[in-house]
Structure 1
């Protein structure tokens, strides 16, 4: 083996040894992820302040308070702005006798039944002598031996425009009795209003009597009441005034009227029908209506209870006042009891209407 070969082989071996002694290059590390930047959540928008509700005119509030305070009797007054929502009242939450104001709730129940297809205004009805009630009932002379044939619509008109007690009672039982009216009031959210047992039972109980079927169509009720002692009648009347079985607060009544006007109790056609009948009312022309000015309208329902000597009870007028510009006010003046003469009671009611008109015109 030549020296040249051996030198070459040694060089190769030396190179290999040197290569084996050199450490391997470290692996290249992966780039670090960018740091997560946590941004604060965007600031929540500040809550918008609730829009301010219109306030009742101070002049009207003062007038209602003054009228209620100065009247010699137990009176509740409520004025509710149907469009703006405010209410001013004097003793407006105390239940007081409704008397024929309650015909309004029967009328609403009738129209509700018409809407639901349970009856129609053209349905025939025969009113018999056994259906007759007491006090004001213009239909009475028409009810002969075989009865008086009429319609649901005609009875509704008689109840709402002439406050006919018999027409109203016939309608009441046609729609399911007092429970049907109470259900309607509860279902539709008319708070602060109750409903009594119907005309005959209401008037008999108010006088301290129990209704007898043979009194229908005759003078039996009035004769039985006249035979009672003053003490017995007073006891019964005091009991009724303390807890009227047909009681409603003035604020409750204006709530119901406002809901009716807003279309929340009946459909538009039914609402218009009922309000048109109330505008055509023949009763109480010198109550609320006496304080109106030209261009104003009133759809209303009156109520008048029993008297005992100089004490009058349940003298009421409630309704919807509409200004010439279309603005609407629900109003109720409910005199539970007073010894003031009729002109003073009517003047109070007219003054409430005058106060509403004046406040509206000054607004």
Structure 2
């Protein structure tokens, strides 16, 4: 995962009433839509991005960039099923000027369900967001009595993955370790550890087991990829070798891949992500999880508690959640082929002081925006959602 940087501060924008109308201007000033620096830096980036292919129930096994992404094209039909019109308008306006291809979904879970979003039904790369489904699959097996939380899992150097894996040093220095299912769940979700996640995936029965869970629970347009090693090497145009799990060897090997091959591999992945999911499907899955429809009460409390302690992405959506609200989430961060960053995501559940819950998903498939700009947009969405609570 990429390290977080500080988000740009929000400053109200002076808006001409003649342009937006008196009510519109008041809304923009009221919600502190986005910093002036963000708007000025992105306003020249508006353009039309080619649409994403429709979900394919059988993920492609091929993994290969088109021109750098620009602004968002408005959907042909608004995706708004009962949400406040003001919220819909504000999110759409900022989404349209944000460079790249981004999907957004917001769903009110309690007290009058509604959903709204942009590109909400299209597939976007999940990256580490998909760790959520591995965790749910494992806990479903716990509920069935097939796995126990105190069950020990052996992890050796041959099980190491790639990129962010804090557990790696312990595995290497000891020649292998044993960790409980519960400890690995916490490590995979809270620290977004790729090796911990792959170890849980192996224990669950592999990618097919997760796909079966998603299908059995009827979670819709959510795919699960082949695991971190095959996924990340395929995106980079590489065939996986276990030596890539050590030190900076993956980066060194990736740097040796001809640029044309890397771009082709990344382009194929972005066009039809093998780990793709739609923002709508994600927020609906989060809503069902929150309502206790996917796991037992004990497992539901456990995973929601773990997600509330997520340490990655503190300046993504979480930084826009107002004081007095609770928030739990899972981030995802993909590879970069400059100037394009991919799979910069955050999904989560916001809970108002009165107990009303909202599920949110922001999936930045590809973007040229800086990290502070990405975080500013995410904070805007969570802050504006909270502002429209009970309106």
Task: Using structure 2 for the length normalisation, give the TM-score.
Answer: 0.77
For the 8 Å contact 1:130–1:217, the answer to whether it is kept is: no
Q: What is the Cα deviation at residue 268 of structure 1?
A: 1.2
CA distance in 1, matches of 2:244, 2:83: 49
The answer for unaligned runs of 5 or more in structure 1 is 1-53
The aligned counterpart of 2:370 is 341
Q: Does 1:126 align with 2:150?
A: no
Q: Out of 81, 85, 89, which is 1:58 matched to?
A: 85
**CA deviation map 1:68-100 (0-9, x unaligned):** 112111000000111222110011111010000
Alignment of 1:1-363 (within 5 A): 55-83=82-110, 84-143=112-171, 144-360=173-389, 363=391
**Higher alpha-carbon Rg:** 1
Equivalent residue pairs, number: 309
CA distance in 2, matches of 1:183, 1:309: 36
For the 8 Å contact 1:67–1:352, the answer to whether it is kept is: no
**CA deviation map 1:106-147 (0-9, x unaligned):** 010011011111111111122111111110001011113430
For the 8 Å contact 1:122–1:151, the answer to whether it is kept is: yes
Q: What is the Cα deviation at residue 326 of structure 1?
A: 0.4
Task: Using structure 1 for the length normalisation, give the TM-score.
Answer: 0.83
**CA deviation map 1:164-213 (0-9, x unaligned):** 00000000010000000001101111001110000000001111111123
The aligned counterpart of 2:70 is none
Q: What is the Cα deviation at residue 62 of structure 1?
A: 1.1
**CA deviation map 1:304-342 (0-9, x unaligned):** 000012210000000111111000111000000011100
For the 8 Å contact 2:318–2:382, the answer to whether it is kept is: yes
Secondary structure of the structure 2 residue equivalent to 1:315: strand
Secondary structure of the structure 2 residue equivalent to 1:336: strand
Q: What is the Cα deviation at residue 246 of structure 1?
A: 0.3
Secondary structure of the structure 2 residue equivalent to 1:329: strand
The aligned counterpart of 2:29 is none
Report the more deviating stretch, 191-200 or 221-230: 221-230
CA distance in 2, matches of 1:211, 1:277: 31
CA distance in 1, matches of 2:310, 2:261: 35
For the 8 Å contact 2:101–2:367, the answer to whether it is kept is: yes
For the 8 Å contact 1:295–1:324, the answer to whether it is kept is: yes
CA distance in 1, matches of 2:280, 2:108: 12
CA distance in 2, matches of 1:250, 1:314: 13
For the 8 Å contact 2:165–2:195, the answer to whether it is kept is: yes
**CA deviation map 1:47-82 (0-9, x unaligned):** xxxxxxx93111111122112112111000000111
The answer for unaligned runs of 5 or more in structure 2 is 1-80
